[in-house]
Amino acid sequence: MTNAYRIAVLPGDAIGPEIMAQAVRVFDVVQKHRDVSFELTTCPFGAGAYFSHGHAFPEETKAVCDTADAILKGPVGLSHEESQKIPVEEQAERGAILPLRARYNTFANFRPITLSKKMAHFSSLKPEIISDGIDILLIRELVGGLYFGAKERGVNDQGLRYVKETLEYDEQQIRQVLKVGFEQASLRKKQLHNIHKSNVMMSSVFWNEVLEEVRVDYPDVEVIHLLVDAAATALCLNPGQFDVMVMENMFGDILSDEGGGILGSLGLMPSACMGPDKAYYEPSHGSAPDIEGKNIANPYSMIGSVAMMLEMSFDMKDEANAVWTAMQSVFEAGFSTADLSSEGQLLSTEEFGNKVMEKLDELLGK
């Protein structure tokens, strides 16, 4: 029987539709070669959705996402000036992304920081530091912490304006993401870097207490504790020491962007946001309004997000690997996109997509 999957496609803003147009081509190539069918429904989401539908995450989009087998989301948001035309609570980050994460409780955010050996020239690090390429899985807690804690603004007793944001986690929230970290570590090198700030933050002290309870179930996984600031340095100086890293929301936001920095571009950072019943997939980068419509955005992270969906939502690991191989082979053949390098032959968004689909077609046809 043919497996039929329904996918909600949220192209998003600025470069979103351009990179999404390339990413969804993967579904066509896969269903041409495999006994599977994908039904795609495109929905408004983000700043554009606010202008057209009055909400950044419209009800009709929620309805499609609710019944979809998986969600593919492009980057959202506008330039600072354009965003000012939207009420704060409806701006794309607060009005669309965070509600999407909360709605499906996508607590485990998988952000692979990977660069094949032959793509190592794109890295911002010296060749001797990353001669073997980079292969890290950063796991970020995605629905707790400062992002979702209570917020308050006001005027205090001295008449001064103040702001208060709270970092909250209950033990269950910490346990569930740590378990994902341990599970991934057991599938890989059996080493887990626990990133925290327990020398200052009570939340990290608590996090580490829960970790001690969780690790009992994973006796073969070695835990290495590292303070988040030290981790930021270590990622630049010796990324090869990391395999799986796990951390709370805000730390993960910052270190995953550093991940893009050491790869050479955030354009190389796809991600998967996993909840108990639903997952959505998105690039880790923003919508780059400055290059909108120029056909120069790198679609790697968007196409890579489809690869992650194939593997993690549909159990199609071989097909996912073929997508990675196809993308890497294009770069390894000496091509580049504008974000990565001005050397080599530069490909437009669409040209990169053409080459990847051609290669993918060949790989899956074998």
Among all residues, which ones are annotated catalytic? 147, 197, 229, 253, 257
Does 302 interact with ligand IPM (rule: CB under 6 A)? Answer: no
The residue among 106 and 336 lying less far from Mn ion, judged by its C-beta, is 106
- Which of 97, 115, 125, 210 touches ligand IPM (CB under 6 A)? 97
178 binds, among ligand IPM, Mn ion, none (CB under 5 to 8 A by kind): none
Quick note: the x/- pattern for ligand IPM over 33-52, rule CB under 6 A, is: --------------------
Residue among 342, 317, 348, 312 nearest 330 (CA): 348
Q: Is 165 in the site for ligand IPM (CB under 6 A)?
A: no
284 is an interface residue for ligand IPM by CB under 6 A: yes
Residue 18 within binding range of ligand IPM, rule CB under 6 A: no
| Binders of ligand IPM in range 75-94 (CB under 6 A) | 93
For residues 220 and 115, is the Cβ–Cβ distance under 8 A?
Answer: no
Among ligand IPM, Mn ion, none, what does residue 18 contact (CB within 5–8 Å per kind)? none
138-197 binders of Mn ion (CB under 5 A): none
Of 358, 346, 253, 330, nearest to 297 by C-alpha is 346
Minimum distance from CB of 110 to Mn ion (Å)? 14
Find tokens 């997952």 and name the residue: 279
Among ligand IPM, Mn ion, none, what does residue 97 contact (CB within 5–8 Å per kind)?
A: ligand IPM
According to the binding rule CB under 6 A, does residue 253 interact with ligand IPM? yes
Q: Does 253 bind Mn ion (CB under 5 A)?
A: yes
What residues are paired with 165 via a beta bridge?
A: 151
| Chain mean position to CA 215 | 26
CB burial of residue 173 (10 Å; 0-12, 13-18, 19+): buried
User: Would you tell me which residues interact with ligand IPM (CB under 6 A)?
Assistant: 93, 97, 253, 284
